[in-house]
Chain A
């Protein structure tokens, strides 16, 4: 395949480079990327579950929290990195990236935890209370299970978003597949760029489909349980 604009030497995609650098650069980048992404989402999930439940309970907090999270989510990631990097104690490196990743995930997850809990029909909770369940039991046995599909949807969106942002994080020395992209651009070496970009895309899409499958698995059950008798 011919290259439309000049600037590069050699073929568009050099398979030999891929083969020779598979274990030294490509796989570590991939693994690092996966690790970065999933760890950030996990941390965010742990924080967002109780926070989301609290916000769902205390409606007064709902509007301000939604507003703030909505605004923060709009900030472009490179801009957020720029802001984080100047904060003393953070600087360039994986720390800033993880903070940003956790922050974006939190925004998505809190919103979905609240939405999930809101989606539980009040009649169901009323019935549970009438049956004698304590508030804690209602939360654990009724609300969270019924909110599960929406929460999983949140996990899916957060993870896919995070995988995307982590690629940008490579610019501030965060590692991951973005490093292949940035190095490739610096060196005018399209093979690296394409490898990094395609792997990042594949990772994102595969994760999306996988979590979508899990979401669907839980949804028919949730629908059956939530349906009025």
Chain B
């Protein structure tokens, strides 16, 4: 568990604080996304966890212990660190890059070798092919995967990720996000993830901390709650005018309660697969209909605009 207690950062000579009285908790095994516009202090906050930056006041506790209870170097070897520009060491092979922290920790060569292969498999790169290559031989997307593998090398319980998928094209980014979420389902690390992209935050985060200029925490909650009840005008506008639609992208058609399609028109279009409710809505609007048929466990169910609206109503929890 990571806890921020009234953490502030003020740079000398600067009029406004970079981070102001930040307090929140990240439960074990969850992804907490820090998101906000440039200058909101999200990266600064993340870097205070592994003490690349020291707070001006307040403290950060990891599993109840202040993160100052050991040296910065020692601390960082226990925390995975993946940054936007990746920072792979160009003069070392991929295997050499991933092995960096394990080597520092004194693992045996055999253990390191196994771990490197294991991690490369996990991030979708064939170890036999990639371990002896150099960073300059890899594409941006591949380098990003190696960056994540390198951060996970010593199997740290906590990981810090600063826009780790930021420099690749949107298609690759989506794939990387999906794959990472799948990995996280298995390994359940405590992750602090920084991004400026609210959609990425909503997709990746179990909890989101929205920060605004001056390092102030605007709202800290689950994506659903933030989309449903933004705490301020700033949050509402940051989340976007389409937050209702964004809420719909949080769940899938298969999670909806639907009525049977028996007796309904046979000419209705079919929705294939299990898209998000938002994508399903998009298909309805695109086809110019108010209802479509969804196959579920052999039965034909009716997906209507009304049902979708009711989904929103259910969540709102008020009349």
Classify A-B as touching or not with yes or no (CB < 8 A): no
- Write the residues of chain A forming the contact surface with B, with a CB cutoff of 8 angstroms: none
- Write the residues of chain B forming the contact surface with A, with a CB cutoff of 8 angstroms: none
